[in-house]
Amino acid sequence: MDVSTPANAPWLVVGLGNPGPEYAMNRHNVGFMVADLLAERIGGKFKRAGKAQAQVVEGRIGPPGPGSRRVILAKPMSFMNLSGGPVNALRDFYKVPVGNIVAVHDELDIDYGTLRLKLGGGDNGHNGLKSMTKAMGSDYHRVRFGIGRPPGRMQVADFVLKDFSSAERKELDYFVDRAADAVECLVIDGLERAQSTYNS
């Protein structure tokens, strides 16, 4: 955490995806899946967030007492390539420092199910990250969920908007659960601890 960030500042955890049932099981929507699981863990249900084009759940992550962190879980409802607007609106509304924002997203250049956590960096062609960075700079955390590369000559756009394969779905719950654990560790214990535990 940046030294200028107050210890009691809230965290904003953003699952990236596309709204609508037809996208629900797409590889591109794994951020939504992780956000849904985190909401379940804190006992909240997503609801529309005022004027922001997003659904949110507010709660706390971590053990009861001073070790817990206030967190806003969010799913932008604007479609992936326009995620920055809703996230920026939530950041302003909840007064969240950029360093306390976590984007959970699919990542083509990592093998399926592998996690990588980092702070800042480029968008690697990911339209959700591109939109967020344009709206507020790149100094936010990322939890990158590997989906691997498309097979053969399949276009990237087709691959990310397809559902996980039946073979992938056998392990999907486990990997989503692990990604949710990684988000909790990042928020409670910081990036270094989360990287050493979950970067594989």
Name the E strands within the chain.
Answer: 11-15, 47-48, 54-61, 69-76, 101-107, 115-119, 141-146
Instruction: Answer yes or no: 126 catalytic.
Output: no
Determine the distance from the C-alpha atom of residue 76 to the mean position of all C-alpha atoms in its chain, rounded to a whole number: 11
User: Of the listed 28, 105, 126, 141, which one is catalytic?
Assistant: 28
Count Cβ neighbours within 10 Å for each residue of 76-107 and write b for 16 or more, e otherwise. bbbbbebbbbbbbbbbeebebbbbbbbbbbbb
Catalytic residues: 28
